[in-house]
Amino acid sequence: MSTISSMTSRSATVICVENLHFDYPDADIILRSRDSHEFHVLKVYILHSSPILGEEVLISPNTLPSPSVILAESEVDGPTSADTLQTVELPIDGAILFSLLSYIFPVTPILPSTPEEIMELLSVAQMYKMDIVLTHIRSHIAEQNPSFIRKETAYIVYSLAQKYGLRTEALQAARCMLSLFTFTIRELLSEGKLAIMPGAALHELWKYHQNVRSNLASDLKKFRTSQGYLKLGDSNCISLTDSGIPRWLDAYISTLGSTQARFP
């Protein structure tokens, strides 16, 4: 019988690091986290979930049992005892590894409760090329209420996504921030954002916003010179531009098109 322990909340999970247990039935390998938590698992699930773990970690010479362990195994009849299981050390914190295993094995998936831990979980799955697991985690994230990427979290999520090379989350967060601020140094300083994000990542975000607004200005300019406004029908508006667009609409379009993200 498997033993998996955690402390659950409404939309995510607060993982109790002091009491992490993942003992899968008939486990034949132990995964040891960076902070010395051990998880008893079936090797076949690990092999199928990650080509990197399967080819570069589990079969590498430094993960094989010592000669004394091999000798002990040869003297044991029946299932291998826990004392003789092969142990593989991974450069992952116990809480993150615990959560990752919940997406690999047929158990209830456990999503961490903080943006920092969630982004680290995604980065580990990406690092080990766990494509199916990564999709599973992202689907679980999409079900969260409130949304994982929202006004309050978009900036930190973008910063972490850039740090870990998570392009999907970086783009989602960048889109969420389009209407949040105008990228003036004063605004960024007042909200403490310059201390959170490296300059290179901030510059990428600024370029993205600038490109979006530039494309918007170009598209609106094309609209003003096209016949698209006819789709609006008869507006009964007396004040029209030379193009036949109501002046209030033309002024609104001009405002949208001229609002450029810029550093002063």
Domains of the chain, CATH where assigned: 3-112 (3.30.710), 169-258 (no CATH)
- C-alpha 21/C-alpha 251 separation (Å) is 62
pLDDT computed for residue 61 by the predictor: 47
Residue ranges of the chain with pLDDT lower than 70? 1-19, 56-83, 180-195, 216-217, 219-221, 223-246, 248-264
- C-alpha 223/C-alpha 230 separation (Å) is 11
pLDDT computed for residue 115 by the predictor: 94
pLDDT computed for residue 200 by the predictor: 75
pLDDT computed for residue 1 by the predictor: 39
Whether 129 contacts 154, CB under 8 Å: no
pLDDT computed for residue 167 by the predictor: 94
pTM score: 0.69
Q: Is the peptide bond before 67 cis (omega within 30 degrees of 0)?
A: no
Whether 149 contacts 172, CB under 8 Å: yes
Going by C-alpha positions, the residue among 20, 160, 43 that lies closest to residue 97 is 20
Q: How far is CA 140 from the centre of its chain?
A: 11
- C-alpha 94/C-alpha 22 separation (Å) is 11
Angle, CA 40 vertex, CA 39 and CA 42 arms, to 5°: 125
